[in-house]
Amino acid sequence: MKQLKNMFFISALTFLGFSCGKQQEAVPLDKHSIIPIPVSVVPAAGSFTLDGKTAIVLQADPAQVQLIGEYLKSSISTLTGLNLNIAQEDRDNAIVLALDATASDEEEGYRLAIMDKKILVSAPQPAGLFYGIQTLKQLIPAHGGKIPGVNNQFSLPQGSIEDHPEYGYRGMMLDVARHFFSVEDVKKLIDQIAVYKINHLHLHLSDDQGWRIEIKSWPLLTTIGGANEVGGGKGGYYTQDDYTEIVRYAQSRFITIVPEIDMPGHTNSALNAYGILNPGITVPEATAVPVDRKALGVEEEDPDATPYHTGIEVGFSTLDTDSPVTYKFIDDVIREISELTPGPYFHIGGDESHVTAMEDYIPFIEKAQEIVTKYGKKTLGWDEVAHAKLLPTTVAQYWAKAENAIMAIEQGSKVLISPAVKAYLDMQYDSTTHLGLHWAAYIELDEAYNWDPTELEAEIRREHILGVEAPLWTETITTMSDIEYMTFPRLAAIAEIAWSPKTARNWEDFSRRIAWHGQRWEAQGKNFYRSPKVEW
């Protein structure tokens, strides 16, 4: 194989050497490395030449597509160094972005036609154009100066692609509670996951170790509850303006933010701030650290408030499900966050409430669900919420127990598929991985790829499934580089499960395609796990 590679290298050099002045040969469209793999790819002979004179032509109301055109322009500039003009009139040597109701029957679908003198990206909705652009970017043979075009020309193979997603919800979750991540980090992640046509980012905004979003009616949540993290660091939080900035940025990448406030368990950070919410829980002694309220500028002592939890043990905290103050509290929190959130979902957590009696847990979840509805949102909750009576609009996120997911389905709810054994990005790749946990499984790249949401349980069928989400819990994750290492390449595998038809997916082919993505990530300076299952 190595010999073969060397031969290829030599012949490529020879080719470049002897064809000085000519552009590189385009890899035929059916030998592409597109992830997620499209529904249909039809190659044709010949190529399109992208160069400095190529224009981006907008064939649609600029109010709807101007930003998408600019995104394409800046993407091409980063990949190739070319600075393209954006124009309104049709012409040759153009990439045309067209809103066209006939381009696809599917809401997020698109068509990409690469012809001799034109590339046409068409879609019924702006989202489809954005996805068409993601596909197009993966056909440009340059990674940001590392594979320069000859004479600044880049060849793209002719042919056409028709594509649309299998599932409407394609998500990733980032836990910003165990460790806090800046707005800049979250934006960077949004850019990275948008490439793989992920369209939801679930933010786990509160947990035992930290409260990460400003709530104006309960200000100590962030002043006190935000000032801790796993290991006892200083934590951090998003102001409401920060959160809005994340929501807007995500929108520009066609990503919906799903906010989560975990309740009634996983709530120690709220109990650090307000003793009145504390039913008398015990923080694990080994990792409990007293809160120095004065040092945080809070004069009044609160003897009922809890110490910080700096460890990673779960299941010891709960809100007081009998107290009216609890419901005033969650009403305020759900209201303030819902007002800042254009997306349809509010995630109430509901997992691992081990110290909440089931007879208290059930009415609590039902009340929380009513409050979410009152503020115009649909409830998402971890699979345990299926013990309560769910509204038909409520979605249960299957992470641990199939029986819970099935209970939700029997109640008429849909399920979001995130099995820890397949889709958890915090699970180690193997026993040598220096980050992450392995309580559910070791998940190598092929394990993350080789499964299907419809094949987990006979009772969980296609029509019950809203989509797929890959959560990244951050007990052991502290930097952007750590996030990248655990997320890539596995998120690309999950994204293909969520977007591509089952019949088009195949591990051998995926492992070939992902190698090309590794080159691009390397050129971008992005960290990733070089799985031994792939010839990078």
- Note the residues at the interface with ligand TNX (CB under 6 A): 314, 351-352, 382, 399, 424, 426, 437, 473, 475
* Contact status, residue 488 vs residue 521, Cβ threshold 8 Å: yes
Helix axis angle for 324-340 and 358-374, nearest 10°, is: 40
Strands 118-123 and 110-114, bridge-based pairing: antiparallel
Choose between 194 and 390: whose C-beta lies nearer to ligand TNX. Answer: 390
Choose between 51 and 352: whose C-beta lies nearer to ligand TNX. Answer: 352
Helix axis angle for 183-194 and 480-487, nearest 10°, is: 20
Q: How many helices (H) and strands (E) does the chain have?
A: 15, 19
Q: DSSP assignment of 333-394, as one string? A: HHHHHHHH--SSEEEEE----TTS-HHHHHHHHHHHHHHHHHTT-EEEEEGGGGGS---TT-
φ and ψ at 87, to 5 degrees?
-130, 170
Choose between 154 and 473: whose C-beta lies nearer to ligand TNX. Answer: 473
Instruction: Clarify whether 469 is annotated catalytic.
Output: no
**Could you tell me the two tokens for 189?**
């992640």
Choose between 302 and 469: whose C-beta lies nearer to ligand TNX. Answer: 469
| Maximal CA-CA distance, the chain | 81
Choose between 237 and 473: whose C-beta lies nearer to ligand TNX. Answer: 473
Closest distance of CB 233 from ligand TNX, Å:
17
Closest distance of CB 437 from ligand TNX, Å:
5
SS3 label, residue 121: strand
Say how far apart CA 25 and CA 42 lie, in whole Å: 18
Choose between 134 and 317: whose C-beta lies nearer to ligand TNX. Answer: 317
* Contact status, residue 402 vs residue 453, Cβ threshold 8 Å: no
Closest distance of CB 523 from ligand TNX, Å:
32
Closest distance of CB 130 from ligand TNX, Å:
30
Exposure pattern of 333-364 as b/e (b: 16+ CB <10 Å)? bbebbbebbebebbbbbbbbbebbeeebbbeb
Among candidate residues 352, 366, 457, 522, the one labeled active-site is: 352
φ and ψ at 441, to 5 degrees?
180, 165
Closest distance of CB 214 from ligand TNX, Å:
23
* Contact status, residue 348 vs residue 375, Cβ threshold 8 Å: no
Closest distance of CB 240 from ligand TNX, Å:
25
Catalytic residue annotation: 352
